[in-house]
Amino acid sequence: MSNNQEYLFHRSHGSLRPDLLLIAFAAFALGAPRPTAADVVTEWNQIALKAIGTANTSPAATGRVLAIVHAAVFDAVNGVERRYAPYHVDFDPPQGASRRAAAIQAAYGTLVTLFPSQKATFDQERSASLASLGEDDDDEEFEETKSIAHGIDWGQAVADDILAWRSTDGFSATFPPFRGDTAPGQWRPTPPEFRTAVFQQLASMTPFAMTSPSQFRPPGPPALTSVQYAVDFSEVKTIGRATESTRTAEQTEIAKFWDDNGAVHWNRIALSVAAQRHTHLLGNARLLALLNIAIADAAIAAWEAKYRYNFWRPVTAIRLADSDDNPLTSADADWLPLRPTTPAHQDYPSGHSAGSGAAAAVLASYFGDNVAFSSASDSLPGVVRQHASFSATSLEVNDARVYYGIHFRSACIDGRATGNAVGNYVTANVAQPRHGRWSGQIDHEHGVGEIGADGEIVDDENE
């Protein structure tokens, strides 16, 4: 057993030896590669995103993962100074605990539990992160080993508490295979895979912030016999078809660009804008917690509505239009969408639009909406798109799902509206300042802190 391994073993078993503590952190400092991330919060966000990619985690499940990780990171960092109300963990840390060590261990502790097969990678990243605690913007002094040890203990305690809470949230529940219904307007498995519906458990899962999965339930899809349904039908039938479509080359690019993991995409956008604004440790911890809690709850809200309304997908609706009793629609038995496979769950509302609406609402609340930025997509490597605002970006996501032929327009509009409502609710109710109410960054150019509605600085890294 190496000195580092023996140190970790003794610490986790309550028999920490001071000599091993000193040896271990000396080894961390001298032997481990040092990360280049701006701070450990954003560093571990990137580690989490990489882990999600390695595990090929579905977009629907990704929100839960990132909400758990960043809820723990926020409560670990904020718990040391209590500038904001805690999200979930309300007990006290050891005196003098290092905020950065707490953030590292909270992220590590949650990720090891969520992705146990990647433990070796997380161990290496943890060592590198702990080594970085010797680096500071103002000096080259190492944080005291006792402070780091207390931070590690606190971060793990927070991670354990969050994980214990979420272990009974219903995500692991199992349901009989769901094949929908054959009545007009009802979802049923779609070609070419004809898979049964996925993620039934999200519809009844315990939310992270909402009072219930149905709190922001959208009004439902247009009636099959309505003019609105016919308009939605005609649009996706014309522009979303695989061949002979009216799509432009850019519209095709937009469809494929947003066919990636939406939660991952929006986290990268958040990191990019945060870097522009020079946000700091606690600001980043709070931002990423709000963002990912909102995205996770938006998915729960979307899936609750999906199973509530059970509305059919365009590929089914267009092939079976003769059964919808709408004289303004016509069937095409061979119609296929641009996307080769339609996702195996209901049309209404769009989950991607809901998550994007939630993300855009949180980021607009934090930075202001009219922020120019660029983003890349895992589904179209090498393509970078420019965005004028967060709201415009979420509207582009709506377009993308229609262009791809997998959603009706109303499913996207109402999904985005649901996500917006969730995002606004989270920013108004989660992790509020202990004095006053949060109203955004103080200095949008330099990101030096945050301010409450009463004018008091509630989070200033320079204090």
Number of folded domains in the chain?
A: 2
Range of the domain at 253: 200-432
Residue 284, both tokens: 């980043």
Got the DSSP string for 155-187? HHHHHHHHHHHHTTSSTT----------STTB-
User: Of 416, 417, 411, whose CA–CA distance to 349 is shortest?
Assistant: 411
Q: Is residue 451 part of a domain?
A: no
pLDDT tens for residues 45-57?
999 999 999 999 9
Mean pLDDT in residue range 443-462: 39
Give the per-residue SS3 of 373-414.
EEEECCCCCCCEEEECCHHHHHHHHHHHHHHCCCCCHHHHHH
Mean pLDDT in residue range 81-88: 95
Let me know: does 159 contact 72? Beta carbons within 8 Å.
yes
d(CA 7, CA 292): 33
Same domain for 69 and 127:
yes
pLDDT of residue 236: 98
> Which CATH number does the domain housing residue 40 bear?
1.20.144.10
User: Which of 134-138, 160-164, 249-253, 450-454 is least confident?
Assistant: 450-454
Q: Is residue 14 part of a domain?
A: no
Same domain for 249 and 118:
no
Same domain for 424 and 283:
yes
Q: Is residue 123 part of a domain?
A: yes
Same domain for 204 and 148:
no
Q: Residue 450 pairs with which residues in a beta bridge? A: 441, 459
Same domain for 394 and 323:
yes
* Of 21 and 159, the one with more pLDDT: 159
d(CA 302, CA 346): 10
3-state secondary structure of 292: helix
Let me know: does 4 contact 27? Beta carbons within 8 Å.
yes
Same domain for 369 and 237:
yes
Q: Is residue 128 part of a domain?
A: yes
User: Which of 23-37, 105-119, 219-233, 366-380 is least confident?
Assistant: 23-37
Backbone φ and ψ for 261, nearest 5 degrees, come out as -80, 105
Same domain for 211 and 106:
no
Q: Is residue 74 part of a domain?
A: yes
pLDDT of residue 135: 58
Same domain for 327 and 257:
yes
Same domain for 260 and 143:
no
pLDDT of residue 144: 81
Q: Is residue 12 part of a domain?
A: no
Same domain for 313 and 204:
yes
Please give the angle made by the CA atoms of 20, 21 and 23, to the nearest 5 degrees.
60
Q: Is residue 119 part of a domain?
A: yes
Rounded to the nearest angstrom, the gap between the alpha carbon of residue 233 and the centroid of all alpha carbons in its chain is 31
Mean pLDDT in residue range 85-96: 95
Same domain for 206 and 146:
no
pLDDT of residue 66 exceeding 80: yes
Model pTM? 0.87
pLDDT of residue 371 exceeding 70: yes
User: Of 359, 156, 402, whose CA–CA distance to 268 is shortest?
Assistant: 359
Q: Is residue 176 part of a domain?
A: no
> Which CATH number does the domain housing residue 365 bear?
1.10.606.20
pLDDT of residue 5 exceeding 90: no
pLDDT tens for residues 107-141?
999 999 999 999 999 999 999 999 989 755 443 34
Residue 1, both tokens: 């057993």
d(CA 239, CA 446): 43
pLDDT tens for residues 408-430?
999 999 999 999 999 999 999 99
